[in-house]
């Protein structure tokens, strides 16, 4: 008997998933997986600030037509209040019991609207708010305090909510992101979509991140590569991702004398296959939530070198599933690379342990099951 069949005598739980849009990003992908994975004992609806993004088609295929509550320009204008009241009326009309809101901008509407409508609301806190100014941090903290429960996707975020925002531990759950390992493997098996630069047999480190914000610290990776080249250690690098910072990073690679082995691949749709061609991976940010880039590198069986920030230590145990270094320490990055290059057997063992961790602890099934249990608890329903 399927789990949802045992609930046939119960009314479906009316749940709204609210996110900013369906552009490709970690949050949007996780929302899509929840829509796919939650049992049929839910009556699911979707709302967005902007009905846009390449993932919208997948939402429609699942039978959901997102309800749009657009924000226009500044949050401090009459339209914001109008959308809050409009959403509260929509929630009441659809007898919604629970709203799960996944990002800062959506929470500005969803939290007060849910309170006005008499619905429960869960706020997702999925990063360390490193991109927000002081005013927005205070506003986000206020919306979070108003919520019935909070989901953090990493222990570091839970600690931030307790220490800096004063939330009681009982109102916070840590639910790690989930990764569909069979789908990831299928994408990897499709192979490369575009050619890669000839590595000449030299080992390659892969870095997957956008180039929109200095928080990703691609500069530290370039400096580490320069240190290795200066001592005669050969290591190529693939920078996957794009953004306004790329020209400056390309110039830095040239100025440091490492441009020959550094390749800016821009946006790629074949990242799982790229991981399969690399020797190890790196993420050297100064702040992170739960990085899907690190999770995908682990799924590919790569040892990952990460900085000790945000959710990275939740994923990588130093010396077991990869290596952990301090942020903004390119010399430590270079040392970690030396260790993996000098000990390929140890590196392969770390990569195998990393993939095993993803399969065991970061499965989509576990992510969906944990959300399901939390939704029922917050809605005041018996366990499934």
**Domains in the chain, CATH or no CATH each:** 13-178+363-379 (3.40.50.2000), 182-362 (3.40.50.2000)
Is residue 253 scored above 80 in pLDDT?
yes
CA distance 285 to 343: 25
**Contact at 8 Å (CB) between 144 and 150?**
yes
Q: Of 157, 119, 118, 93, nearest to 18 (Cα)?
A: 119
**Contact at 8 Å (CB) between 300 and 275?**
yes
* Mean per-residue pLDDT over the chain, rounded: 93
DSSP string, 131-177: T--HHHHHHHHHHHHHSSEEEESSHHHHHHHHHTT---GGGEEE---
Is residue 305 scored above 70 in pLDDT?
yes
Q: Is 326 left (phi over 0), alpha (psi -120 to 50) or beta?
A: beta
The whole-number pLDDT of residue 9 equals 53
Which of 136-140, 148-152, 331-335 bottoms out in mean pLDDT, i.e. has the lowest?
136-140
- Using pLDDT thresholds of 50, 70 and 90, give the confidence band for residue 5: very low
CA geometry: angle at 219 spanning 285 and 204, to 5°? 85
Neighbours of 258 (CB within 10 A): 23
Tokens of 71: 């924000």
């Amino acid at each position: 008997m399927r789990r949802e069949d045992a609930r046939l005598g119960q009314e479906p739980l009316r749940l709204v998933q609210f996110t900013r849009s369906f552009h490709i990003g970690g949050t949007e992908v996780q929302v899509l997986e929840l829509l796919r994975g939650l049992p049929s004992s839910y009556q699911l609806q979707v709302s967005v600030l902007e009905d846009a993004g390449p993932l919208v088609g997948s939402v429609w295929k699942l039978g959901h037509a997102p309800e749009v509550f657009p924000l226009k320009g500044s949050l401090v204008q009459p339209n914001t209040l109008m959308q809050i009241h409009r959403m509260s009326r929509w929630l009441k009309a659809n007898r919604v019991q629970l709203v799960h809101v996944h990002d800062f901008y959506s929470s500005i509407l969803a939290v007060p609207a849910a309170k006005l409508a008499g619905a429960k609301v869960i706020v997702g806190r999925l990063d360390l708010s490193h991109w927000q100014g002081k005013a927005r941090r205070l506003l986000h903290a206020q919306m979070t305090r108003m919520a019935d429960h909070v989901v953090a996707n990493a222990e570091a975020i839970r600690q931030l909510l307790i220490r800096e925002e004063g939330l009681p531990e009982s109102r916070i759950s840590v639910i790690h992101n989930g990764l569909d390992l069979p789908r990831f493997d299928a994408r990897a098996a499709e192979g490369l979509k575009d050619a890669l630069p000839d590595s000449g047999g030299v080992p390659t480190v892969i870095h997957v991140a956008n180039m929109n914000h200095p928080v990703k610290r691609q500069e530290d990776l370039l400096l580490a590569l320069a240190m290795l080249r200066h001592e005669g250690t050969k290591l190529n690098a693939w920078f996957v991702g794009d953004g306004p910072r790329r020209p400056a990073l390309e110039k830095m690679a040239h100025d440091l004398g490492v441009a020959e082995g550094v390749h800016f691949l821009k946006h790629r749709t074949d990242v799982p296959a790229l991981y399969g061609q690399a020797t190890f991976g790196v993420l050297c940010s100064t702040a992170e939530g739960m990085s899907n880039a690190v999770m995908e590198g682990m799924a590919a069986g790569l040892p990952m070198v990460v900085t000790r920030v945000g959710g990275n230590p939740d994923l990588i145990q130093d010396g077991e599933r990869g290596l952990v270094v301090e942020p903004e320490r390119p010399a430590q990055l270079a040392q970690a690379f030396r260790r993996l290059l000098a000990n390929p057997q140890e590196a392969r063992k770390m990569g195998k342990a990393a993939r095993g961790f993803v399969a065991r602890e970061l499965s989509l099934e576990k992510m969906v099951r944990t959300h399901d249990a939390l939704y029922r608890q917050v809605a005041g329903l018996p366990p499934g």
